[in-house]
Amino acid sequence: MTDSARPLSAKGTRLNRRGLETRRHLLKVALRCLADGGVDAVSANLVAREAGVTWGTVQHQFGDVDGLWAAVIDLIATNRGALGTRVPRHSDLAERVDAVVDMLWTALNSPASRAIYNLRSALPNKRADLEVSFPRTAAAIAAWEVDWTQIVDSAFDDLDVDPAKLARVRNMLPATLRGLYVEETLSTYMDLEEARRGLREAITAYLA
């Protein structure tokens, strides 16, 4: 890694090797804490304690809790880049819908997805409040949603699909699948595979 590519501390200085290792360790611990959930999951103090560092170390790396959460989201977004490659470019509309739905369904059970969900559940739910209280985290979430838009749009960009309909599907799909995912964790007699099949067929018919 060149000096120009090295992450900066909260004060704008280049991190040395030890600083980079500390940063990676803190982000790994933060991701684990968030993914595990619990009443104290969204706590920078818990992250510092679990990582075996002081709050001052967290401040040196990220500035404050807003900087920490923003860095966690950025890390997850960086590792999410391969999702779009799972959609087969040679396939028809139905096959691409299946691939997008299955891709997101699989992602919902990942530690990264659980971390994002638990974090966002603890943050202000109104966009204006979030942007005031956690501006860097809000910007990271906005960038995350732009990435999701690009992943879905690129999956269908060479097909004759109505952009307005695709945008509605893109906005609806995460919440719908998360609802089914929650059902899977409950004592339910629903056939969730059939539910996902119905969802895929409905989306395909809508976009056709």
Cβ–Cβ under 8 Å, residues 70 and 136: yes
Residue in 196, 1, 12 with CA at minimum distance from that of residue 101: 196
Q: Which residue in the block uniquely carries the two structure tokens 């807003």?
A: 66
Residue 104 lies in a domain: yes
Nearest to residue 23, comparing CAs of 1, 114, 135, 59?
A: 59
- In the prediction, which pLDDT does 187 show? 64
Q: Is residue 71 part of a domain?
A: no
User: What average pLDDT score do residues 186-201 get?
Assistant: 84
* Domain termination residue (choose one: 35, 63, 91): 63
Look over the chain and give the mean of its residue pLDDT values, rounded to a whole number.
85
List the domain range (segments joined by +) for residue 55: 3-63
pTM for the complete prediction? Answer: 0.81
**pLDDT over 70, % of the chain:** 90
Give 141's contacts (C-beta < 8 A, 6+ positions apart).
Answer: 73, 120, 130
> Do both 172 and 203 map to the same domain?
yes
Please name the amino acid found at residue 158: D
- Indicate the DSSP class of residue 159: S
Count structural domains, the chain: 2
Tokens of 112: 């990264």
Residue 76 and residue 153 in contact, taking contact as beta carbons nearer than 8 Å: no
Q: Does residue 10 register a pLDDT over 80?
A: no
Q: Are residues 107 and 189 in the same domain?
A: yes
Least confident of 18-22, 36-40, 63-67: 36-40
**Residue 145 clears pLDDT 80, i.e. is over it:** yes
pLDDT of 81 higher than 70? no
Q: Are residues 31 and 93 in the same domain?
A: no
What's the pLDDT score for residue 85?
56
Are residues 35 and 132 both part of a single domain? no
Flag whether pLDDT at 2 surpasses 60. no
Do 16 and 85 share a domain, yes or no?
no
Q: What share of the chain is helix, strand, coil (3-state, %, to 5)?
A: 75, 0, 25
Q: 97 and 41 share a domain?
A: no
The answer to whether the beta carbons of residues 68 and 44 sit under 8 Å apart is: yes
Same domain for 175 and 104, yes or no, is: yes
Q: How many other C-beta atoms are found inside a 10 Å radius of the C-beta of residue 60?
A: 18
Domain presence at residue 139: yes
Q: Are 45 and 89 in the same domain?
A: no
pLDDT of the residue at 15: 78
SS3 205: helix
In this structure, are 83 and 143 located in the same domain? Answer: yes
Residue found under tokens 């950025």: 74
Residue 129 domain-assigned? yes
